Amino acid sequence: MKNYQELIEDIYLDLKKVDDIGKVANYIPELALVDPNNFGASITTINNENFGVGDFSKKFSIQSVTKILSLTLAYKLEGEKLWERVDVEPSGKPFNSLLQLEADFGKPRNPFINAGAIVVCDVLFSHLKNPKKDFLNFCKEISNNDTLNYNKKIADSEKSAGFRNIALCNFIKSFGNIKNSVGEVLDFYFHICSLEMTCKELSEIFLYLTEDHFITKKGNTVITESQTKRINAIMLTCGFYDESGEFAFRVGLPGKSGVGGGIIAIHPNKYCIAVWSPKLNKKGNSYKGMLFLERFTSKTTSSIF
Q: Tens digits of per-residue pLDDT, 148-166? A: 999 999 999 999 989 999 9
pTM for the model: 0.96
Query: Based on the structure, what is the number of domains in the chain?
Result: 1
The vertex-248 CA angle with 242 and 253, nearest 5°, equals 125
Rounded-to-integer distance, Cα 222 and Cα 228, Å: 9
Q: Is the pLDDT of residue 265 over 60?
A: yes
In tens, the pLDDT along 153-207 reads: 999 999 998 999 999 999 999 999 999 999 999 999 999 999 999 999 999 999 9
Report if residue 303 sits inside a domain.
no
Report if residue 305 sits inside a domain.
no
In tens, the pLDDT along 40-92 reads: 999 999 999 999 999 999 999 999 999 999 999 999 999 999 999 999 999 87
Rounded CA Rg of the chain = 18
Rounded-to-integer distance, Cα 195 and Cα 27, Å: 18
Report if residue 43 sits inside a domain.
yes
Three-class SS state of 256: strand
Residue 18, domain extent: 4-298
Pairing mode, if any, of strands 50-54 and 60-61? unpaired
In tens, the pLDDT along 281-294 reads: 999 999 999 999 99
Identify the CA nearest to 83 among candidates 48, 32, 123, 49: 123
Identify the CA nearest to 186 among candidates 175, 173, 176: 173
Asked whether the beta carbons of 292 and 257 are under 8 A apart, the reply is no
Rounded-to-integer distance, Cα 3 and Cα 6, Å: 6
Q: Is the pLDDT of residue 1 over 70?
A: no
Q: Is the pLDDT of residue 280 over 80?
A: yes
CATH number at residue 289: 3.40.710.10
Report if residue 304 sits inside a domain.
no
Q: Is the pLDDT of residue 266 over 60?
A: yes
Report if residue 288 sits inside a domain.
yes
